[in-house]
Amino acid sequence: MTGWVAIAGLGPGNDALITPEVTETLAQATDIIGYIPYVARIAPRAGLNLHPTDNRVELDRALHALQLAAQGARVVVVSSGDPGVFAMASAVFEAVEAHPEYTDTDLRVLPGITAMLAAAAAAGAPLGHDFCAINLSDNLKPWEVIEHRLRMAARGDFAMAFYNPRSKSRPHGFEKTLKVLREECGPDRLITFARAVSKPDQKLVTVPLADATPEMADMQTVVIVGNSTTKFVGRYVYTPRSAS
């Protein structure tokens, strides 16, 4: 039996956003690897081994997947959203690079609905023109890099989507982000906080930057900042297709 690894995106939370490609691949799997809450979304069945692990062990998890596949297992590494956007795909390739004996592993990345696009859809179309996706976590990059990217994105008049805006271990990062955004974009720019997108407790709030506070975001929140043309129409927020 030939093993393989599929790195699959489960979307933002609602099972109606899981692609048939991912569902079919999960049905063929012998092993599911991932962060505890994502593995918990997979229905147990005979012959399926579930390997839930804690956060921040991405490389161990990736190596485990490669090892199991080398033994013939059909492994699905589950991510929320899209595995290629601030999720497990890059971690698996980092593990392959560090362990070249796994270079010939049968590896596939299966895309999913990433949080910012589900959030944008729920809000209207705030990412309807050029935009950037930025991970605000400073676990893997210094604040200076984040600040520079925020300023470049603002000066390019990109809309922006932020992942991991705030955590208990980084209470002040998002406050600094809001300060940089107000300097670059002014007080009237619209900012949307989308929490628990596509889940029963989904909550969306859009305010001008002047009224945004750090407490509006947590680790379950995706934040979207409009560009200079982003506006309300009725209860929807959208960015026109033309540049200002």
Residue 84 lies near its own copies (rule: CB under 8 A): yes
Q: In the window 19-38, what residues touch its own copies (CB under 8 A)?
A: 19-21, 24
Contact status, residue 109 vs residue 124, Cβ threshold 8 Å: no
Considering beta carbons, is residue 46 or 244 the nearer one to its own copies? 244
CB of 6 to its own copies, least distance (A): 10
User: Binding its own copies by CB under 8 A: which of 62, 110, 178, 223?
Assistant: 110
Please state, in angstroms and rounded to a whole number, the distance separating the CA atoms of residues 116 and 130: 14
Residue 191 lies near its own copies (rule: CB under 8 A): no
CB of 79 to its own copies, least distance (A): 11
SS3 for 91?
helix
Bridge partners, 110 (sequence order): 8
CB of 244 to its own copies, least distance (A): 9
Q: In the window 122-181, what residues touch its own copies (CB under 8 A)?
A: 122, 124-135, 140-142, 145, 148-149, 151-153, 155-158
User: Binding its own copies by CB under 8 A: which of 65, 113, 181, 185?
Assistant: 113
Residue 40 lies near its own copies (rule: CB under 8 A): no
Residue 190 lies near its own copies (rule: CB under 8 A): no
End-to-end CA distance of the chain: 57
Residue 111 lies near its own copies (rule: CB under 8 A): yes
DSSP string, 103-163: TTS-EEEE----HHHHHHHHHEETTSSSEEEEE---SSS-HHHHHHHHHHHHHTT-EEEEE
DSSP string, 135-146: E---SSS-HHHH
CB of 115 to its own copies, least distance (A): 10
Contacts with its own copies by CB under 8 A: the residue count is 73
Q: In the window 51-80, what residues touch its own copies (CB under 8 A)?
A: 58
Residue 2 lies near its own copies (rule: CB under 8 A): no
Helices (H), the chain: 20-28, 36-39, 58-70, 88-98, 115-123, 143-155, 173-185
